[in-house]
Amino acid sequence: MSEEKTLVTWHEQTVKRQRGCVVWFTGLSGSGKSTVANCVDAKLHEMGAGSVVLDGDNIRHGLNASPELLSPVHGDEFAKRFGLGFGAQDREENIRRIGCVAEIFCSSGMLALTAFVSPYRDDRNRVRKTVTERGDKIDFVEVFVDTPIEICEQRDPKGLYKKARAGEIKGFTGIDAPYEAPDKPEVHLAGDQPVENLADQVIDYLRSIGKLGAAVAE
């Protein structure tokens, strides 16, 4: 039996707003993505700019929750269908969902700072396409937090590398799963620098493309 097509139509909004921006932080686990994103957010807040941080771990506590988190509330069948793990397809859907959420913030005039490993180039490029097709090419800024895996393992704030090396975690990015670095990120950060310096580099770039607005451009 063939399924009926879902009948949905895009509804144009009455209020036209100046678009914000999606600032997509990518890098290995432990590279400092969330730390830098939060530092940028704090600086933007002080400047009076509207921003929000969408963090990979936090999102997996709600919107992109795992089957284990969903099952007690919604049941096993629901959890199996909608919960996300860390396989390739689950990662793809994880990034697709958060890309849609980030675009909503962008269309409302906010600066959406997303901090996700997002290891696959195609996944990140699909988000870029979604955001820029609805706005402009400067509406998506890819920030590569380029921290060597040796440093990430030394930091290992969540103990994940240790577990991956011990075989307790399978398919861990950088160990037994690939990380595809950006080809031409708008901002390329050396992750071994002080966080304040890295955040300033991101803000300087946003200022250079006019994403901070006249009130906070100076």
Task: Write down the pLDDT at residue 47.
Answer: 94
Model confidence band, residue 3 (pLDDT cutoffs 50, 70, 90): low
If DSSP codes are grouped into helix, strand and coil, which group holds residue 206?
A: helix
Any long-range contacts for 205-209 (C-beta under 8 Å, 24+ apart)? 205/141, 206/21, 206/23, 206/111, 206/141, 209/138, 209/141
If DSSP codes are grouped into helix, strand and coil, which group holds residue 146?
A: strand
If DSSP codes are grouped into helix, strand and coil, which group holds residue 121?
A: helix
Sketch out the chain's domains with CATH numbers.
21-209 (3.40.50.300)
Task: Write down the pLDDT at residue 4.
Answer: 67
Model confidence band, residue 18 (pLDDT cutoffs 50, 70, 90): confident
Task: Write down the pLDDT at residue 2.
Answer: 54
- Of 79 and 6, which is predicted with more confidence? 79
pLDDT at 130 over 70: yes
Task: Write down the pLDDT at residue 6.
Answer: 76
Q: Which residues have CB under 8 Å from 99's CB, separation 6+?
A: 22, 126, 127, 130, 131
Structure tokens, 38 = 């939060």
At 152, which amino acid appears? C
Task: Write down the pLDDT at residue 10.
Answer: 75
Q: Give the residue numbers annotated as catalytic, written as ranges.
A: 118
Portion of the chain with pLDDT greater than 90, in percent = 80
pLDDT at 215 over 50: no
Task: Write down the pLDDT at residue 157.
Answer: 85
pLDDT tens readout for residues 151-173: 999 998 889 999 999 999 888 99
